[in-house]
C-alpha cells in the first residue's frame, strides 16, 4: 500500500530530486515534491514523498536525522482538514430619497464553517 510521508525542517535549497534520492535507499519512491510559496516561489521548508514500499522504514530511519545541518521531521502525512472557506457576497442596495431606484454595489465577507460529520 502506498504511503504519503511529510518531511519538515528542510533547508530552502532542498529539491524534489534531493528528497527522491534520500528516500530511495529505503524503498520505491512514487513521487516527491517540495512545497514552495505561491508568490515568491521560494521553498517553504517542507515537502511530501509518496512511497509504494519502504515507507515505514524510511520514517523510522530519517525522523530526526541531520540533513544539511537541520534535524528532519519525518512522519506519515495526515489528511488536511479543509479550512473555513470564505465567500464574497455582492448585492445591490436600492435606496433613493426621491423614490427612484438607484443601485450601489456593496460586498460582505461570509465565513462558511464546516460542520463536523
pLDDT in tens, 58-113: 999 999 999 999 999 999 998 877 665 555 544 444 445 555 554 444 444 444 55
Orientation of helix 55-62 relative to helix 16-24, angle to 10°: 100
- Measured over the CA atoms of residue 82, residue 84, residue 88 and residue 91, the dihedral's sign is positive
Cell of 1: 500500500
Q: Which domains does the chain have, with CATH numbers?
A: 3-76 (3.30.70.330)
Residue 36 has pLDDT above 70, yes or no: yes
The whole-angstrom separation of Cα 49 and Cα 15 is 12
The whole-number pLDDT of residue 32 equals 97
Amino acid at each position: 500500500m502506498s504511503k504519503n510521508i511529510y518531511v519538515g525542517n528542510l533547508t530552502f535549497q532542498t529539491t524534489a530530486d534531493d528528497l527522491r534520492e534520500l528516500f530511495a535507499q529505503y524503498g520505491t519512491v512514487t513521487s516527491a515534491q517540495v512545497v514552495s510559496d505561491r508568490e515568491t516561489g521560494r521553498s517553504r521548508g517542507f515537502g511530501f514523498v509518496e512511497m509504494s514500499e519502504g515507507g515505514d522504514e524510511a520514517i523510522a530511519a530519517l525522523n530526526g536525522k541531520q540533513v544539511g545541518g537541520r534535524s528532519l521531521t519525518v512522519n506519515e502525512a495526515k489528511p488536511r482538514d479543509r479550512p473555513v472557506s470564505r465567500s464574497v457576497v455582492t448585492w445591490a442596495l436600492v435606496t433613493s430619497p426621491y423614490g427612484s431606484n438607484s443601485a450601489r454595489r456593496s460586498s460582505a465577507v461570509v465565513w462558511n464553517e464546516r460542520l463536523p460529520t
